[in-house]
């Protein structure tokens, strides 16, 4: 008798918790395109890599990492976008281009969404 009540209650509890967690990850995934425009960096691209990473189960992000030489220092800049059908993810950046990125500083890298190509190689 107790198991007939307890097992469905446990299943219902875990369903509600996982549904709430999935909703929170969905909101975080959609919020990746909202980057504060509080800083700008300028320099020459010396490296560019793009990779698809798993964000949460069936949600993926496209991480474009560029290394910019600015004066005597090098800066790692990342563009992180959720992969959706309606968004064009391609960057038209080449190694050697002069670029200005507008975004914000995270722990050890610069995250940007907007960029301007100052001069092409």
Rounded to two decimals, the pTM is: 0.80
Name the CA radius of gyration of the chain, rounded: 20
In a domain, 42, yes or no: yes
Domain CATH number, residue 79? 2.40.50
Give the long-range contacts of residues 107-111, CB within 8 A, separation 24 or more: 108/76, 109/65, 109/76, 109/77, 109/78, 110/39, 110/41, 110/75, 110/76, 110/77, 110/78, 111/35, 111/77, 111/78, 111/79, 111/80
In a domain, 19, yes or no: no
How far is C-alpha 100 from the geometric centre of its chain's CA atoms?
Answer: 19
- For 77-105, what is the mean pLDDT? 85
In a domain, 26, yes or no: no
In a domain, 9, yes or no: no
Domain that residue 115 falls in: 31-119
In a domain, 13, yes or no: no
pLDDT averaged over every residue in the chain: 89
In a domain, 83, yes or no: yes
pLDDT digits (tens, 9 = 90+) for 47-64: 999 999 999 888 899 999
The full length of the chain comes to 121
Number of domains in the chain: 1
- For 96-117, what is the mean pLDDT? 92
In a domain, 76, yes or no: yes
């Amino acid at each position: 008798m107790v198991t007939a009540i307890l097992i469905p209650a446990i299943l219902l509890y875990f369903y509600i918790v996982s549904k709430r967690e999935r909703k929170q990850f969905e909101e975080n995934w959609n919020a990746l395109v909202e980057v504060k425009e509080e800083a700008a960096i300028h320099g020459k691209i010396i490296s560019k890599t793009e990779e698809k990473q798993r964000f949460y189960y069936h949600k993926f992000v496209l991480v474009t990492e560029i290394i910019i030489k600015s004066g005597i220092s090098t800066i790692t800049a990342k563009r992180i976008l959720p992969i959706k059908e309606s968004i064009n993810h391609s960057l038209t950046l080449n190694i050697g281009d002069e670029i200005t990125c507008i975004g914000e500083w995270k722990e050890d890298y610069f995250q940007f969404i907007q960029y301007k190509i100052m001069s092409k190689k």
